Amino acid sequence: MLRLLPAVLAIFVTVVVSCGPHTDNSRVRLSVPIENTTVGPGDVFTMQVVGEKDLPTDYQVAADGTVDLPYIHRQHVEGLEPQEIVALVRKSLIEQKVLTDPSVVIQVREYNSKHVTVLGQVQKPGSLPFAQGLTLIQAISMVGGFNAISKRDQVNLTRKTKSGAETVVLSVDAIIEGRSPDVPLQAGDQIYVNERVF
């Protein structure tokens, strides 16, 4: 009987562990990401003026928030939405009598002025350029993933909101294992991966 005791205990521990509660993110209340598509220094956008095939298509916003555009020269675009840049370009082209009714298409290719920060127990902590649709899993992957002492079920996400900043604790294991959906990020989010206690 005494010989069976270790085996019974081992089975009991296994059952308790496997039946224990799994951490998920269902109880976490995080503000919905605010979409911010205004451009800033370092951002790259493409511009096409219909019918003007010989014009360059790629433009980068300078450190002072301006961009040098064909025909209308230097324009201040920092803080403008893509559609507002379209309106600015159209108006300038008409006012300078370059075109009478231009059709302008602008699409932001890189939001280098917007970042997400990933710190703590990851391979390459640092700042990442933000792109629309970026998620928590993608951001962690972009910094090389977790290191050996990361606590993957205790990842802090801090987000700026209109009323201040909020921090929630998320389980990345729950996302990887399919128990929780991935978390969409917004520009300015800060991710901190805690250290596992041994």
CATH number at residue 64: 3.30.1950.10
Q: Is residue 30 part of a domain?
A: no
Q: Is residue 166 part of a domain?
A: no
Q: How many domains is the chain built from?
A: 1
Helix (H) / strand (E) containing 39: none
Residues 6+ away with beta carbon under 8 Å from 7 = none
Give residue for tokens 């998920």.
Answer: 24
CA distance 37 to 115: 13
User: What is the extent of the structural domain holding 82?
Assistant: 44-110
Q: Is residue 180 part of a domain?
A: no
Q: Which residues pair with 120 in a beta bridge?
A: 193
Q: Is residue 26 part of a domain?
A: no
Portion of the chain with pLDDT greater than 90, in percent: 70
Is pLDDT at 101 greater than 60 in this prediction?
Answer: yes
Q: Is residue 168 part of a domain?
A: no
| pLDDT: which is higher, 194 or 21 | 194
CA-closest candidate to residue 106, choices 161, 154, 50, 66: 50
Say what the pTM is: 0.68
Q: Is residue 27 part of a domain?
A: no
Q: Is residue 85 part of a domain?
A: yes
